[in-house]
Chain A
Amino acid sequence: MRYRIIIFLLLFLTAGFQAHAAPDGGELYARNCAACHGEKGESGIGVPLTLPSFQATASDDYLRKTIRLGRPGRVMPASTLSDTEIDAIVGFIRGWGRQSRAPSFPTTPIQGNVEHGSRLFATQCATCHGANGEGGKGTGVTFSRPRDQQIMAPALNNPGFLAAASDAMIKAILVKGRDGTPMSHFTGKESALEDINDLVSFIRSFEKIPKHLTAAVLETEQAVLIKDSPYDLATTIANVKLAAISNNFIFIREQRLAYGLVPEGQEDPRQHIVYFCNFNMLNSALATDPRVGLFLPCRITVVEQNGKVKMMAVNPKRLSKIFNNTELNALCDEMTKRYLAIMEDATI
């Protein structure tokens, strides 16, 4: 009996907590979605959520699953919001639709000829969606898409998309197209219904692609790169500058760690940051995903503690996980290697 009371109280408290949180779809959208999709759903990246043709072919279930699962490896993160909060966001997004009712689709799988679908895909879809459904270049991975295109073709092989979209929904998009985007409808192309079913089956077959190919994550536990220096502080700083230059970076400046936080001259003289940049790499990184700026500029901190001198840097490989962007992986991996090379060179 006592246990039942405890369970009841916990349930009551949970319900109270969630009720108190009172999900406001607009507020939740502004906090979680607007940065990428625009305040009014007009889109920064991804399909414009206000687009009538999107609203007409995206079910509430699709929106819910998309928010919950995100798009692994393609900027949109999986959400840990509660179901009630996600429902509130979906309701808010649905408010932009001109239709009074959201579409709903059966979940019954569509049977088609995958091989024939593959041939159709190669001729009809691959130009925009990529040969393996990987999406148009830059899809979902940059805010800076060309402005002459309203959207870029999404990655159909993404596990998040495949889990969110039912076969019937994909078929509806193929049949109706998406007005206002380059996605035209197939019915106008004298496509038989069977062809469309074959295409749906081929798209569904992307589920067999191993996830590490469509949503790769770099594995490392080390958040900080640290290397002891056999030299004194001043020599190590000088060595880091030279090593950065010899590794194709431009030296930017050297500052004490507390620079700007305390009055000039009062910074701890044992802690220095050496800033450097490879502008070609920087430009490429920002074009891939401008969010990487929060780890810019490249820097190695040189500190002296208890008579020992150390060089330290963030580990870009470890940080790559937080961006949920597979296209950044190679750059992060490369940057980790370069930091280590600079530290190594500075100790020679």
Chain B
Amino acid sequence: MNKALRLSIALLLFGLAAVASADQLLMIRSSLPFAEAMLALQNAISESGYKVARVQNVDIGLSKIGYKTDNYKVVFYGKAEEAARLVEKYPELIPYLPLNVAIFAEKDNTILVTNRPGVLAEFFPAPELKTLFMDWEKDLAKILNKVRDAR
């Protein structure tokens, strides 16, 4: 293959990759007030085949100590069998489990934010994990889009 062709293909593939990749955080704004957005998030997680493991009430903890804060929670979720398998095979992933989404009030809206699972591929380069992280990312995008579109 001559140099020009190799260069052309490399440039084209780079162009495609640039189209497909994006920022390191997934973040959406829901026009719903906090309580409704929270419900929409939990429903979307369940509908995507995951289980909500627990909700961390960051706001309640802060308020108890005397700090003024708006609604702020962290929702942990996952799939039991998948998590168990990962913990056995890739124990270094443990600190990143279960998956989570931070959800907080922003005036009358609600903001949801989490790290893009694809970014974990930088930390954990095993090929099998890359596929898994991409699957998580697709699911997460669907979950967040559902919350964003909920009215």
A235 at the interface (CB under 8 A from B): no
Q: How far is the CA of A130 from the CA of B23 in the complex (A)?
A: 29
Residues A21-59 near B (CB distance < 8 A): 21, 30-32, 34-36, 38-39, 44
- The interface residues of chain A lying within 8 Å CB-to-CB of B98 are 257, 260-261
- Report B1-44 residues with CB < 8 Å from chain A CB: 1-2, 4-5, 8-9, 12, 15-16, 18-19, 21-25, 27-29, 31
- The verdict on A173 contacting chain B, using a C-beta distance below 8 Å, is no
Count the A-B residue pairs with Cβ separation under 8 angstroms: how many? 171
Known contacts A268-B84, A271-B94, A294-B113, A282 near B62 by CB under 8 Å: yes
**Are A303 and B91 in contact (CB-based, < 8 A)?**
yes
Interface size class of B (residues with CB under 8 A): 35 or more
B95 within 8 A of A: yes
The answer to whether A321 touches B24, judged by C-beta atoms less than 8 angstroms apart, is yes
- Chain A 247-284 interface 0/1 with B at a Cβ cutoff of 8 Å (1 = within): 00000100101111110000010010000010100110
Chain A interface main SS type? mixed
Q: Which of B1, B52, B111 has the most CB of A within 10 A?
A: B111
Task: Say which residue of B80, B92, B109 sits within 8 Å of A258 (CB atoms).
Answer: B80
Contact across chains for A293 and B115 when beta carbons are under 8 A apart: no
- Residues of B contacting A271 in the complex (Cβ-Cβ under 8 angstroms): 87, 94
In the complex, chain A residues whose CB is within 8 Å of the CB of B111: 35, 44, 143, 290
State A262–B92 Cα separation when bound (angstroms).
21
CB of A240 within 8 Å of the partner chain: no
How long is the Cα–Cα vector from A303 to B102 in the complex, in angstroms?
25
A213 vs chain B, min Cβ distance (A) = 22
Q: How large is the interface on A (under 10, 10 to 19, 20 to 34, 35 or more residues)?
A: 35 or more
A301–B94 touching, CB < 8 Å: yes
Question: Out of B2, B22, B61, which one reaches A81, CB within 8 Å?
Answer: B22
Q: Nearest Cβ distance between residue B15 and chain A, in whole angstroms?
A: 6
Which chain B residues in 70-116 approach chain A with CB under 8 Å?
A: 72, 74, 76, 78-80, 83-84, 87, 91-92, 94-98, 100-102, 104, 106-107, 109, 111, 113-116
Q: List 6 A-B contacts (CB under 8 A).
A: A6-B9, A14-B16, A32-B23, A44-B29, A271-B94, A293-B102
A residues whose Cβ falls under 8 Å from a Cβ of B: 3, 6-7, 10-11, 14, 17-18, 21, 30-32, 34-36, 38-39, 44, 77-82, 85, 143, 147, 223-226, 252, 255, 257-262, 268, 271, 277, 279, 282-283, 286, 290-291, 293-294, 296-297, 299, 301, 303, 305, 310, 312-314, 318-319, 321-324
